[in-house]
Amino acid sequence: MWEGLTPVAATLLVLLTAFAVVLAVELPDKTLVATLVLTTRYRAWPVFVGVCAAFLVQCVIAVSFGSVLTLLPERVTTGVVAAMFAIGAVMLLREGFAAAEDSEQDAARSGAAEVSFRCAALTSFGVLFAAEWGDASQLATAGLTAHYGHPFAVGLGAWLALVTVAGVAVLVGRKIRARVRPQLIQRVAGFVFAAFAAVALYQTIFS
């Protein structure tokens, strides 16, 4: 397979292949939407740090276990995802439908600024870690590792693709948050999370 290629060239080819495959899988996936929603709720930087850390852990898991991850019980993984998104939906909807403050200044304070960096980062980590568990990108990473036998190159390529998706979502989320009232964003985000939870629950019950 690698005839005529130097070790460096072969490693780079595997890295780029993993990057392209995972990027193609994740751009239309719930990962982008979930990151965007989190960014409209919390400050961009802690969200980005949290989701990138979650992606890193998930890539390490996928590379470590390779194709074995495909053998995990689907109901377990989708059940965890459903629970995480359901909790997030309840929190966001509760805040979104709370009584509105009279002044715009008070409304702004009820947005992302109040939440600490640690809380926002940990919440983002938890949501995306659950969302990515057993996801197509993780399974693709595991499969590419088993196929090419270059775990570092595959893992790095997959992680860079996920970071790229997160970066796009964060930039879009910041622009949306600057133009829309925080409570409206929280309501929309809550319904989005509820939809994700419903889909995951359906998969858990009927898969």
pTM for this one?
0.69
Find tokens 């005839």 and name the residue: 3
Measured CA angle at 175 (ends 47, 91), to 5 deg: 45
* pLDDT score, position 74: 65
pLDDT at position 111: 46
Quote the CA–CA distance of 4 and 11 in Å, as a whole number. Answer: 13
Give the side-chain half-sphere CA count within 13 A for 90: 6
Nearest-CA neighbor of 47 among 113, 122, 110, 109? 122
Give how far Cα 168 sits from Cα of 38, 55, 186, Å.
13, 15, 20
Report the distance separating Cα 146 and Cα 126, nearest Å: 27
Report, as ranges of residue numbers, the positions in the chain whose pLDDT lies below 50.
Answer: 67, 69-70, 99-113
pLDDT of 51 reads 93
Determine the Cα–Cα distance for residues 86 and 5; give it in Å rounded to an integer.
Answer: 49
CA-closest candidate to residue 81, choices 23, 119, 73: 73
Burial of 113 (0-12, 13-18, 19+ CB in 10 A): exposed
The pLDDT tens digits for 155-192 are 999 999 999 989 988 888 777 666 666 666 667 767 87
CA distances from 17 to 78, 85, 153, 158, 207 (A): 28, 31, 9, 9, 31
The pLDDT of residue 116: 84
